[in-house]
Amino acid sequence: RVDQLKYDVQHLQTALRNFQHRRYIREQQERQREELLARTFTTNDSDTTIPIDETLQFNESLQNAHRGVDDLIGSGTNILQGLRDQRVTLKGTHKKILDVANMLG
């Protein structure tokens, strides 16, 4: 009978602790909810600014470098095309000189 009473007391104490813990949690949640509802929200401080100017300058520099490389590639292509045209012209001139030399003997 004493063991049964000890078990009942422990069981009731555990149930009481669980009930008190749930009540404490519920009260804490209600308190936090009330704090949130009572709070007046304002705009963000200036501390949350993003350094976008530096990023824009970096991006602009990259675009300028990209454009410069494209210009260099275009210039190189034009130079190669010019050399090909000169080669064709020199071949034609060389052939005409050989034809004239053959005609003269």
Same structural domain for residues 100 and 60?
yes
Same structural domain for residues 19 and 57?
no
6-35 pLDDT tens trace: 999 999 999 999 999 999 999 999 999 999
Out of 10-19, 55-64, 65-74, pick the least confident.
Answer: 55-64
How many structural domains does the chain have? 2
Is 90's pLDDT higher than 80? yes
Compute the half-sphere exposure of residue 20: CA atoms within 13 Å on the CB side of its CA. Answer: 6
Where in the sequence is the domain holding 80, given as residue range(s)?
51-104
Same structural domain for residues 69 and 36?
no
Rg (CA), the chain: 45
Same structural domain for residues 29 and 65?
no
Q: Which two tokens stand for residue 37?
A: 């509802």
Give CA angle at 11 (6, 13), nearest 5°: 95
